[in-house]
Amino acid sequence: MSIQDEFSFINQIKPTTVHHEKTLITGIGDDAAVYIPSPNQSQIICTDTLVEEIHFTSQTMSPFQIGYKALAVNISDIAAMGGNPLYYLVSIAIPSSWSEQDLIEIYAGMSELANSHRVDLIGGDTVSSKDSLMITVTVIGETEEGRQLLRSHAKSGDVVFVTGTIGDSSAGLELLLSKGRHGTFNSNEDFLIKRHQYPNPQVKIGRFLSKLKRVSLNDISDGLASESNELAEASQVTITLNANLIPLSKELVSCDSEGAIEKALFGGEDFELVGTMSMDEWESIQQDGRLQNLIKIGTVSSGKPEVLLQLENELITLEKKGYNHFKK
């Protein structure tokens, strides 16, 4: 391990402020963290592991960006449940090729995002690794009892929506793999790269949606096709998407007009939200303008659990494929 003194390192990454001091009893510094759950709230817990050369490389991400994204992907899962993130824990396996300063930058990236969402670092672990850096982040959140937004909530007649443009992150990764993160990029390319390196978890929208009567929700980590199939399978419904309604950024279309729709469907790592709600709720939201970030992209009908894409005059079955961590 490149860290010479683990206790000194822990002191360097230990937060100086606590966002939830009324409910956090013990954070970093004891055998385990202790906190008081809020009354009438359901606890939400999610975890993700990022592995060097599979989920990130130094060619595409700085240590700060790696840390930022490692936390962002978990906060996005909390958002997809309609929850509010509160605490996070980090376990990191460190090879000798990573310097202590690099590791401090990773935690600095997490800290920047954590502060913007008022999330407290309360524990974790540091161990050595032979070859690759591995980061496992666990986030704890909460939502009102019975208000969690499950994938199984979609029903026939629902509207299918997304929260923003899709495919940007995939295009940004493609540019980074081609030129490296120190390459020269125009303004459109720089936009796509930032979308890949700094995902924006949609917590506020998730919280808003949790107040509605019935919403199914998923975050777009593996591509719109894969995530829509997960909704269809969990709810046992048919989802039909309209290719002309899928929001594509002007930057993506400018850089890759022919491949834009494929990146939106199968690229992944946009960390926007895709979900469904009743037509009545959709029309109510449209009339009062409570949430203008939602874009309608399709409908839900009864039938076998599958996802169809209306593309011009064709109706195509979208397979459940997208980013695969284990593909060669």
H/E run at residue 93 = strand 84-94
| pLDDT exceeds cutoff 60 at 327 | no
Annotated binding site for substrate: 55, 269, 323
Annotated binding site for ATP: 107, 124-125, 151, 221
Sequence-ordered list of residues with C-beta below 8 angstroms from that of 87, at least 6 positions apart, any chain: 20, 24, 33, 35, 119, 120, 121, 122, 139, 140
Would you put residue 119 in left (φ > 0), alpha (ψ -120 to 50) or beta? Answer: beta
What angle (nearest 5°) sits at the alpha carbon of residue 240, between those of residues 239 and 241? 120
Domain 6-144's class?
Answer: alpha beta
In 10 A of CB 268, how many CB atoms? 24
In 10 A of CB 289, how many CB atoms? 7
Superfamily of domain 151-318: PurM-like C-terminal domain (3.90.650.10)
Whole-number pLDDT of residue 118: 97
Whole-number pLDDT of residue 1: 54
H/E run at residue 161 = strand 159-162
| Token pair belonging to 19 | 């966002």
* SS3 per-residue string spanning 124-144: EEEEECCCCCEEEEEEEEEEE
* Each residue's pLDDT tens digit, 57-114: 999 999 999 999 999 999 999 999 999 999 999 999 999 999 999 999 999 999 999 9
Annotated binding site for Mg(2+): 31, 47-48, 77, 125, 219, 222
> How far is CA 69 from each of CA 59, 198, 211, 322, rounded to the nearest angstrom?
15, 6, 28, 19
pTM of the model: 0.91
Beta strands at 238-242 and 306-311: parallel, antiparallel or unpaired? parallel
Its sign, for the CA torsion 51, 54, 55, 57, is: positive
pLDDT band at 297 (very low <50, low <70, confident <90, very high): very high
Could you tell me which residues are beta bridge partners of residue 314? 311
Query: What is the percentage of the chain residues whose pLDDT exceeds 70?
Result: 95
Annotated binding site: 31, 47-48, 55, 77, 107, 124-125, 151, 219, 221-222, 269, 323
Distance, in Å, from the CA atom of 190 to the CA atom of 185, rounded to the nearest integer, reads: 6
Domain ranges, ordered by start, for the chain: 6-144, 151-318
For residues 245-262, average pLDDT: 96
